[in-house]
Amino acid sequence: MVFNCWYGIINVANYYFKLKAMTLIGFLVLLAIAAICGSIGQSLAGYDLGGCLVSIIVGFIGAYLGMWIAGKLGLPEFFTINIQGKPFPIIWSVIGSALFTLIMALIRRAFVGPNRY
């Protein structure tokens, strides 16, 4: 199969894409690590956004945010755990989770006021 694009001709027959599936155990380990990183980031920021599921979401958002900041500043990726070929940056996830929690706390304080409840 050949595609003619604006930047040239691509011959798809020469490329082989192999997708690696993650097992259930690997996915659960990844969720547990994200929850731990998210909860550490929330405790560093001094604000709690919610329970365990929220900590998992904050951990993943923190990993993306932390790696984006590290990429923009030209900082290296260190202390990365590979789970079945999927890298998860621990330090940048904690830093990104703390920054994300801090931003969410400031936004909530602006709309709700200084009282949380």
Collect all residues with Cβ–Cβ distance below 8 Å to 103 and sequence separation of at least 6: none
pTM equals 0.73
Cβ contact 39:60 at 8 Å: no
Cβ contact 36:59 at 8 Å: yes
Please name the residue ranges forming H helices in 14-79.
24-45, 52-73
Give the confidence band of 97 by pLDDT, cuts at 50, 70, 90: very high
Query: Given this model, what pLDDT does residue 98 score?
Result: 92
> Is pLDDT at 89 greater than 80 in this prediction?
yes
Query: Given this model, what pLDDT does residue 117 score?
Result: 54
> Is pLDDT at 65 greater than 80 in this prediction?
yes
> Is pLDDT at 6 greater than 50 in this prediction?
no
> Is pLDDT at 113 greater than 60 in this prediction?
yes
- Percent of the chain at pLDDT > 70 equals 79
Query: Given this model, what pLDDT does residue 2 score?
Result: 47
Give the confidence band of 99 by pLDDT, cuts at 50, 70, 90: very high
Mean pLDDT to the nearest integer, 73-101: 87
**Chain-wide mean pLDDT for the chain?**
80
